[in-house]
Amino acid sequence: MGNKAFKFRIYPNKEQSAFLAKCFGCSRFVYNHFLRLTTDAYAQSKKSLRYKEWAKLLVHLKSEFEWLTEVNSQSLQQTLKDLESAFTRFFKKLGGFPNLKKRSHRQSFRVPQHFSIDENGFLKLPKMTPLRMVIHREILGTPKSVTISKTPSGKYYACIVTELDIAHAPLNGNKIGLDLGLKEFAIASNGEKFENPRYFHKSLRRLKIRQRRLSRKHKGSSNRKKSRLSVARIHEKVANQRQDYQHKISLKLTCENQAISVESLNIKGMVKNRKLVKQISDVAWGNFLTMLEYKGDIYGCEICYVDRFFPSSKRCSHCGYIKEDLTLSIREWECPECKKVWDRDINAALNLMFFSESKIPLEEGKFTPEQPVERLGITRSSG
Ligand SMILES: [Zn+2]
């Protein structure tokens, strides 16, 4: 048994949109409230609060702010579980410190139980009338939870997670090292390179024009609202393109291999480099690692993190010689010890690979990929 997600667009009417706005608001309020509370508690008494404590305090919060009882209470508990996973990711060094949720960003809340889809395809959630949903593909398996979201440009979606049984992915024993970069998005130790499409960079000119237009509009005017929407749409498109590209690469890599070693990135530290900040947020490595991990879990591929202070670029992966004077501009070099000629990135990826040697899982993956990997149409960069 495994989980699979199916995402559909939903079209709430006026009254339903108002209620959903309330749900988003309550979920955001609870998330931010407990995030602040936890940070304050830790700062004052070094006490770290977790889900158990939060759930108890939520009861009191609901008697203080009665409007919280108007929405589904299970969704609020789910918000706390999401906050807990954000903290867990942070402590495992897989993500940044949890951020406060903003009204202007994507809004969401999850319904973990008591929802249904009727014969006309309407989605019934607790405490509200059925929502019109466009089911453009068959839902496989038993629905377990649904997440309702709203993008900054005003589109609503329902993401239904189901539990289903599929044939397991076979064991193949393949292992690679993966070097993430800016010139190329990723370089695998088997020599395969994936280009960096720089979607944000490509939309930058258009975005700048729209943003300039937006800044000239009067606050509160309907023209400003329209202008704000057009900016949000560009951001959304960039995010979708990036998401799509990363889904394809992560699917390919996790399906074809059983162990992948990557450098654990101190992304926050890297983003402090002001010259690179835009480029680094455009490649969105953190997002990519998250995908590798959950897909690895599904298809039976172990993701191994290598300490970022390990000299993966400077070490000759053949004999172990450390080339101290290797600078960023040297793309190719010859090892003075064993005379091997290295492509800088492939050598780094090979060094990373040695860490995955003993990490190949002995159990089959939970799924076989639905779609043949060759048909994904990923553009590989030449050379
Ligand atoms: Zn060497």
Q: Render pLDDT for 34-77 as a digit per residue (tens, 0 to 9).
A: 999 999 988 888 888 889 889 999 999 999 898 999 999 899 99
Q: Is 182 found in the same domain as 158?
A: no
pLDDT of residue 140: 87
> From ligand 1's centre to the CA of 308, what distance in Å?
21
CA of 315 to the centre of ligand 1 (A): 8
- Which is catalytic among the residues 256, 263, 293, 302? 263
Task: Establish if 382 belongs to a structural domain.
Answer: no
- CA of 304 from ligand 1 middle (Å) equals 24
Of the candidates 283, 290, 278, the one whose C-alpha atom is nearest the C-alpha of residue 95 is 290
Q: CA 357 to CA 246: how far, in whole Å?
A: 25
Residues 336 and 193 in one domain: yes
Q: Does residue 381 form part of some domain?
A: no
Label the pairing between strands 341-343 and 156-164.
unpaired
Catalytic-labelled residue, pool 192, 256, 302, 345: 345
Enumerate residues with CB within 5 Å of ligand 1 (an ion): 316, 318-319, 321, 335, 337-338
Point out the least confidently predicted range of 27-31, 108-112, 260-264, 358-362.
Answer: 358-362
Residue 35 belongs to a domain = yes
If one counts the domains in the chain, the total is 2
Token pair in block for residue 367: 């799924």
263 is catalytic: yes
Query: Residues 116-129: what's their mean pLDDT?
Result: 92
Question: What is the tens place of the pLDDT at every residue in 259-300?
Answer: 999 987 765 556 667 777 788 888 888 889 999 998 898 888
C-alpha span between 261 and 264 (Å, rounded): 9
> For position 7, what pLDDT does the model report?
93
In tens, the pLDDT along 355-366 reads 766 666 777 777
Looking at the predicted structure, is the pLDDT value of residue 177 above 50?
Answer: yes
| Torsion angle defined by CA atoms of residues 22, 25, 30 and 36, in that order, rounded to the nearest 10 degrees | -160
In a domain, 170, yes or no: no
Token pair of 184 as six digits: 């190329």
CA of 340 to the centre of ligand 1 (A): 6
Answer yes or no: do 296 and 335 share one domain: yes
Ligand 1 centroid vs 323 CA: distance in angstroms?
9
> Is 345 known to be catalytic?
yes
Report the separation in Å between the CA atom of 339 and the middle of ligand 1, taken as the mean of its atom positions: 6
Report the separation in Å between the CA atom of 201 and the middle of ligand 1, taken as the mean of its atom positions.
38
The chain-wide mean pLDDT, for the chain, equals 87
Whether residue 374 is predicted with pLDDT greater than 70 in this model: the reply is: no
| Residue 314 alpha carbon to ligand 1 centre in Å | 10
Residue-number span of the structural domain to which 101 is assigned: 2-164
Of 101, 134, 164, which marks where a domain is finished?
164
Asked whether residue 282 is assigned to any structural domain, the reply reads yes
Active site residue 84: no
Tens of pLDDT, residue by residue over 181-205, are: 888 899 999 999 999 999 998 999 9
Q: What angle do the packed helices 73-91 and 14-45 form, to 10 degrees?
A: 40
pLDDT of residue 383: 38
The confidence band for 370, taking pLDDT boundaries of 50, 70 and 90, is low
Contacts of 111 (CB under 8 A, 6+ apart): 72, 74, 75, 78, 125, 126, 145, 146, 147, 148
Same domain, yes or no: 264 and 216 = yes
Of 179, 192, 282, 293, the catalytic one is 179
Q: Examine the domain organization and report whether 155 and 226 are in the same domain.
A: no
Same domain, residue pair 160 and 267: no
SS3 193: strand
pLDDT tens digits, one per residue of 138-162:
888 899 999 999 998 899 999 999 9
Domain identity same for 348 and 202? yes
- Ligand 1 mean position, distance from CA 182 (Å): 26
**Do 204 and 58 fall within a single domain?**
no
Angle at alpha carbon of residue 227, lines to 226 and 228, rounded to 5°: 90
Residue 22 sits in the same domain as residue 127: yes
- Cα dist. 241→10, 181, 238, 248, 283 in Å? 21, 18, 5, 11, 11
Q: Going along 140-220, which residue ranges are E strands?
A: 142-150, 156-164, 175-180, 184-188, 193-195
In angstroms, the CA 57 to CA 51 distance is 10
Are 155 and 252 in a shared domain? no
In terms of domains, do 279 and 362 share one? yes
Residue of 245, 231, 227, 258 lying closest to 363 (CA atoms): 258
Helix (H, G, I), strand (E, B) or coil at 139: coil
294, two tokens:
């959950």
Residue 104: predicted pLDDT = 82
- For the four alpha carbons of 240, 241, 244 and 250, in that order, the dihedral sign comes to negative
305 and 282 fall within a common domain: yes
Percent of the chain with pLDDT over 70: 92
* pLDDT number for residue 171: 82
The widest CA-to-CA distance across the chain, in whole angstroms, is: 73
Cα gap 259→247, rounded to integer Å: 18
**3-state secondary structure (DSSP) of residue 132:** strand
Q: What separation in Å is there between the alpha carbon of 318 and the centre of ligand 1?
A: 5
The residue among 139, 164, 189 that closes a domain is 164
**pLDDT at 284 (0 to 100):** 86
Amino acid 76: pLDDT: 92
- Is residue 289 assigned to a domain? yes
Q: Which of 164, 187, 206 is the last residue of a domain?
A: 164
pTM for this entry: 0.69
